[in-house]
Amino acid sequence: LDDEDTDRVYDLVEGLHPADIADLFELFDERERLTLAGAIRDLMGSEVIAELNDWVREALMEALPADVVAEIAEQLDTDDAVAMLEDLDEADQQAVLAEMEPEDRAAIESALSYPEESAGRLMSRELVAVHESMTVGDLIDFLREHRELPTEFWEVFIVDPMHRPIGTCSLSWILRTPRNIPLYDVMARDQTLIPADMDQEEVALRFQKYALISAAVVDPAGRLIGQITVDDIVHIIQEEAGEDALLLSGAGDGDINEPILLTVRARLTWLVVNLATAMLAASVVGLFQGAIAKFALLAVLMPIVSGMGGNAGTQTLAVAVRAIATNQLTDSNTVRMILREFRIALANGFALGLLIGVGTWLIFSNPLLGAVIASAMVINNLVAGLMGILVPVTLDKFNVDPAVSSAVFVTTATDTMGFFSFLGLAVVVGLA
Amino acid sequence: LDDEDTDRVYDLVEGLHPADIADLFELFDERERLTLAGAIRDLMGSEVIAELNDWVREALMEALPADVVAEIAEQLDTDDAVAMLEDLDEADQQAVLAEMEPEDRAAIESALSYPEESAGRLMSRELVAVHESMTVGDLIDFLREHRELPTEFWEVFIVDPMHRPIGTCSLSWILRTPRNIPLYDVMARDQTLIPADMDQEEVALRFQKYALISAAVVDPAGRLIGQITVDDIVHIIQEEAGEDALLLSGAGDGDINEPILLTVRARLTWLVVNLATAMLAASVVGLFQGAIAKFALLAVLMPIVSGMGGNAGTQTLAVAVRAIATNQLTDSNTVRMILREFRIALANGFALGLLIGVGTWLIFSNPLLGAVIASAMVINNLVAGLMGILVPVTLDKFNVDPAVSSAVFVTTATDTMGFFSFLGLAVVVGLA
């Protein structure tokens, strides 16, 4: 690629799967990506575009004229076209839509009218829906005759005259059933219907829980308007589940293809909030400056108490956030989980307190100092365990995403209480 | 349930989906679970058992006699039966296997011979494989006649006489093709084959990347021995992607149904390792006891420098671990990513340094102290950014899971360098 040996690049790329070509793009930097796109122009089919990382795709799309983007969008399924266009800014989006065929444009505009990250954006309008009066034979003939139907589908939806879904038929049942049997004898009547405005995280949990391959999306009147298939959901599950670690650390969406200025802004915002809480914790230490000046060893040991509290709090927090995200922690078992974390914190606090207490006593030949740090360790572990679960549960009650904002509260608590309990106890027992 | 009103409980539960019954179990504590299991004995079908959380299921299975467990295992697909039996201890497992039909036993024993978390454990042996000489019509007749075939499948595998997969046929293509067309004209020849010993995380990435619904599992000789379907993979993706936040925090597998003693042990191990590194950082502070005794304000400010470094390091780490887990960070873009993190760290370091430096100067009317803390902040942010990416990349090179052990190294570096740079600079410029 560096030598601009276009033919050789083309030959190398030609045999690859679209998903692999998309990956290849992500490995290069921005300048090289444009060169590569130029070299393999006619291999850049809609499948490759659909597989690209959001940021990489957005940058490529912005470099292309609106009519080319419109042409690509028309080749894609509605859901992929929406994913591509929703990232563009308003003006570019309008320019592209203006270049599209009226029918495709209407489908995309209607999808864009649903909130971001909702089922309405995810769904594809291409589906097979038939009436229950059909027999298996009718259905097979219908499928063979209608060439315009989608090529890949896994279930057929059965609808009533109002176009409301009343059942689904897995293709394997259809294949195994004699031609003369009516579909209403084959179809499954209980199905998971997805309202178009349902959040994608909730959709993903449904797919996972009920092991769905595809599901009908309905409008508020209960009419079938689209389907969501599991291959689209797999990406969502990956994203939503992996997001927690990034959100807990304040790393924004953590995408390594995000423009660097956006990354700096996202991370810096979080760091500045943490700076404020660090200063709060420091002001607690400030209260004890006199004691520290008299007995500087306190300053040496105090970060151990606060740091260990922070670690224990982070553990509890990670578990609680995950349990809330997967609907495992709900109102009915919150009290049990709080008690569970309390017992764990007590056990860990005593074990760590004993270890550091005896260690301090032996190293500095000061049993009183050992007792103080051991007690502070127990107290701070309890603070960590309780805050680690109470903060995310409370935030969740107020509909705030616990992964985004819990960590600040928990580390503020463990830092300030760590310093306060250790230095306070030291002063009370007369160590300084 | 508390009133032991069995009939009412039964009526309430009867209409639920198996996955919902499984969820219901997880909401109760251990004693209540057994009562519930007693009350709804005949609703406890194999689907419910398969949906239960690992720990809850293990506890229930251990309370049941081996022949009842064997009976449940025989009703399950191989993959679900394996998932159920692999958690039991060796003796119980043997007892259950001894009670099973020879054929089912052989299938499960062969699955258990593959490593844990490998494709061989995940795959189901129930699949439809036919020869390429068949026509679409032959296949449909074959499926209608053979009642013992699995009821739900999404693709038909085409094999050669050696039983090696040579193509796959999506059911929708079969339904849409006239009866007289041979399968070799319909099937897709390029398919993703999964070796039986492939790690489940890698399998999940393949499914996600190529948007697979099912895939053929092959033995080392290339023969088709099973299939993995996307509904099994969805759980793996959830687990593997969500695991990072738990592993980074040292919270073990973070399952809220895990027996409490195992949880305490997992978390305590991590905390003790961190205690050692906290003591290492404390010993750095110990070097400067004299300076702190003279100028106690240093002890007040030093946790800000170390803490902010820790936060920045955790951000970079979360991003790097995620990028490695999703194969976005590979050899070919490592250098670019290190430079990216370096630039982010520099930008954040200067911004935070300026903020805290000017703040310190104004609050304590001490410009020199402001300059020292600002410089220490820049240095520690660079340490955080570089260690945050270099540690996980290096561990990954040595085939150590970066999510498990990176955090200890990174926080040790940011703590010690935070204290050392701030206190060291303060001494060098003559503040104490």
In percent, the amount of chain B with pLDDT more than 90 equals 43
pLDDT in tens, A184-194: 888 888 888 99
Nearest residue of B to residue A176, measured between CA atoms: B144
DSSP class of residue B187 equals S
d(CA B86, CA B72): 14
Tally C-beta pairs within 8 A across A and B. Answer: 347
Mean pLDDT of chain A: 88
User: Checking DSSP bridges between strand B129-131 and strand B155-159, what pairing results, if any?
Assistant: parallel
- CA A246, B411, A27, A34 dihedral sign is positive
Mean pLDDT, range A28-36, rounded to an integer? 76
Which helix or strand (DSSP H or E) is residue B205 part of?
A: helix B200-209
8 Å CB contact of B238 and A234: no
Q: What integer pLDDT is reported at residue B216 of this predicted model?
A: 94
Q: How many CB atoms lie within 10 A of CB B240?
A: 22
pLDDT-derived band at B1, boundaries 50, 70, 90: low
The answer to whether residue B417 scores a pLDDT higher than 90 is yes
Type of residue found at A62: E
Give chain B's domain count.
3
Place of tokens 């936040």: B245
Q: Smallest Cα–Cα separation from B52: which of B30, B12, B72, B24?
A: B24
B351 and B378 inside one domain: yes
Mean pLDDT value across chain B: 88
* Cβ separation B326–A242 shorter than 8 A: yes
Does A32 reside within a domain?
A: yes
pLDDT digits (tens, 9 = 90+) for A375-384: 999 999 999 9
pLDDT reported for residue A34: 75
Tokens 């495992």 label which residue?
A: A328
Same-domain status, A272 and A409 = yes
Q: B217: left (phi > 0), else alpha (psi -120 to 50), else beta?
A: beta
Interface test with A, best of B238, B257, B350 (most A CBs within 10 A): B238
Is residue B249 in a domain? no
**CA A65/CA A68 separation, integer angstroms:** 6
Identify whether residues B269 and B335 lie together within a single domain. Answer: yes
B60 and B23 assigned to the same domain: yes
pLDDT band at B253 (very low <50, low <70, confident <90, very high): confident
Tell me if B250 is assigned to some domain.
Answer: no
Instruction: Give the dihedral sign, CA A208/A214/A219/A221.
Output: negative
CB B35 within 8 A of CB B27: no
Q: Return the bridge partners of A146, or none.
A: none
Assess whether pLDDT exceeds 70 at residue B2.
no
Q: How far is A197 from chain B (nearest CA, A)?
A: 23
Average of per-residue pLDDT across B242-256: 82
A263: tokens are 């990354």
What is d(CA A362, CA A375) in angstroms, rounded to the nearest whole number?
A: 16
CA distance B83 to chain A (A): 16
Q: Copy the structure tokens of residue A5.
A: 């040996």
CATH number at residue A219: 3.10.580.10
Q: Which residues does chain A have within 8 Å of residue B348's beta carbon, measured at their own beta carbons?
A: 264, 267-268, 271
Domain boundary among B216, B243, B270: B243
- CA dist A247 and A45 (Å) reads 34
Q: What share of chain A has pLDDT > 90, as a percent?
A: 43
pLDDT of residue B416: 96
Gap between the Cα atoms of A302 and A373, Å rounded: 8
| CATH code for the domain in which residue A421 is found | 1.10.357.20
CB contact under 8 A, A233 and B233: no
DSSP letters of A1-48? Answer: -TT--HHHHHHHHHTS-HHHHHHHHHHS-HHHHHHHHHHTGGG--HHH
Alpha-carbon gap, residue A18 to B72, rounded angstroms: 43
Whole-number pLDDT of residue B3:
61
Q: How far is CA A275 from CA A186, B203, B221, in A?
A: 63, 42, 59
Query: Which is higher by pLDDT, A169 or B24?
Result: A169
- Residue A78 in this model has a pLDDT that exceeds 90: no
List the one residue out of A310, A263, A272, A266 whose CA is nearest residue A407: A310
β-partners of residue A170 are A155
For B131, the enclosing helix (H) or strand (E) is strand B129-131
User: Has residue B362 been placed in a domain?
Assistant: yes
DSSP state string for B11-65? HHHHTS-HHHHHHHHHHS-HHHHHHHHHHTGGG--HHHHHHS-HHHHHHHHHHS-
Contact in structure between A419 and A350 (CB atoms under 8 Å): no
Q: B235 with B283, same domain?
A: no
**Predicted pLDDT of residue A119:** 92
Amino acid A386: pLDDT? 97
**Residue in the block written with tokens 């990174």:** B410
Cα angle for residues B251, B257, B260 (degrees, 5° grid): 65
Q: Give residue B288's pLDDT band: very low, low, confident or very high (50, 70, 90).
A: very high
Q: Tokens 């590569």 sit at which residue?
A: A36
Per-residue pLDDT at B227 exceeds 70: yes
Residues 6+ apart with CB under 8 A from B356: A275, B304, B308, B373, B374, B377
* Chain A residues close to B315, C-beta within 8 Å: 249-251, 267, 270-271
Examine the pLDDT at B376 and tell me if it is beyond 80: yes
| pLDDT confidence band for A2 (50 / 70 / 90) | low
Supply the pLDDT for residue B54.
79
Cα–Cα distance, A73 to A57 (Å, whole number): 12
Of B170, B230, B250, the CB nearest to A234: B230
Do B158 and B235 reside in the same domain of the chain?
A: yes
Asked whether A420 and A284 are in contact (CB, 8 A), the reply is: yes
Residue A53 identity (one-letter amino acid): N
Domain end: A246, A281, A314, which one?
Answer: A246
pLDDT given for residue B35 in this prediction: 76
- A349-363, B221-235, B276-290: least confident range: B221-235
Residue B378 confidence (pLDDT) above 90 = yes
ipTM attached to this prediction:
0.81
Contacts of B143 in chain A (CB under 8 A): 172, 175-176
Q: How far apart are CA B251 and CA A348, in angstroms?
A: 12
More confident residue, A302 or A64: A302
Q: A308 or B48, which is more confident?
A: A308
Residue B48 pLDDT: 80
Q: What's the mean pLDDT in A270-279?
A: 92
**B228 and B198, same domain (yes or no):** yes
DSSP state, B329?
S
Looking at residue B271, what is its pLDDT? 92
Facing residue for B318 by CB, picked from A154, A190, A251: A251
- Looking at chain A, the whole-number percentage of residues with pLDDT higher than 70 is 97
Q: How far apart are CA B59 and CA B107, in angstroms?
A: 24
Select from B154, B157, B225 the least CA-distant residue to B195.
B225
Residue with the larger pLDDT of the pair B258 and A282: A282
Q: Among all residues of chain A, which has the CA nearest to that of B299?
A: A299
Asked if B283 and B359 sit in the same domain, the reply is yes
Contacts of B306 in chain A (CB under 8 A): 303
Closest CA to A253 of B234, B340, A244, A321: A244
In a domain, B123, yes or no: no
Q: Are residues B97 and B217 in the same domain?
A: no
Q: Which residue has the higher pLDDT, A330 or A158?
A: A158
Asked whether residue A251 is assigned to any structural domain, the reply reads: no
Residue B257 near residue A337 (C-beta atoms within 8 A) = no
Residue ending a domain, among B83, B117, B151, is B117
In eight-state DSSP terms, residue A155 is: E
Q: Is the pLDDT of residue B375 over 90?
A: yes
| Interchain proximity A144–B176, CB inside 8 Å | yes
Tokens 């508390």 correspond to what residue?
B2
Residue of chain B minimizing CA distance to A244: B245
Tell me the average pLDDT across B98-110. 86
Q: Give the mean pLDDT of A403-421.
A: 93
In this structure, is residue A383 part of a structural domain? yes
Torsions phi, psi of A287, nearest 5?
A: -60, -25
> Residue A10 — very low, low, confident or very high, per pLDDT cuts 50/70/90?
confident
**pLDDT (mean) for B166-186:** 88
Burial class, B261, CB count within 10 angstroms (exposed 0-12 / middle 13-18 / buried 19+): exposed
Considering only A45-49, A406-410, B294-298, which range has the smallest mean pLDDT?
Answer: A45-49
pLDDT at A382: 97
**B135 in the same domain as B110:** no
A290 and A235 both lie in a single domain: no
Q: Is a pLDDT exceeding 70 seen at residue B341?
A: yes
Give a yes or no: residue B253 inside a domain: no
CB–CB of A245 and B248 under 8 A? yes
Domain of residue A23 covers 6-116
Contacts B268 to A, Cβ<8 Å: 347-348, 351-352
The more confidently predicted of residues A352 and B100 is: A352
Residues B287 and B422 in one domain: yes
Q: Give the C-alpha separation, A35 to B103, whole Å.
A: 58
Q: Which tokens in the block code for residue A61?
A: 């799309």
**A74 pLDDT more than 70:** yes
pLDDT greater than 90 at residue A97: no
Give me the mean pLDDT over the A313-329 stretch. Answer: 89
Q: Which has more pLDDT, A13 or A316?
A: A316
State the Cα angle at B315 between B311 and B317, rounded to 5°. Answer: 115
Q: How confident is the model at residue B203 (pLDDT cuts 50, 70, 90)?
A: very high
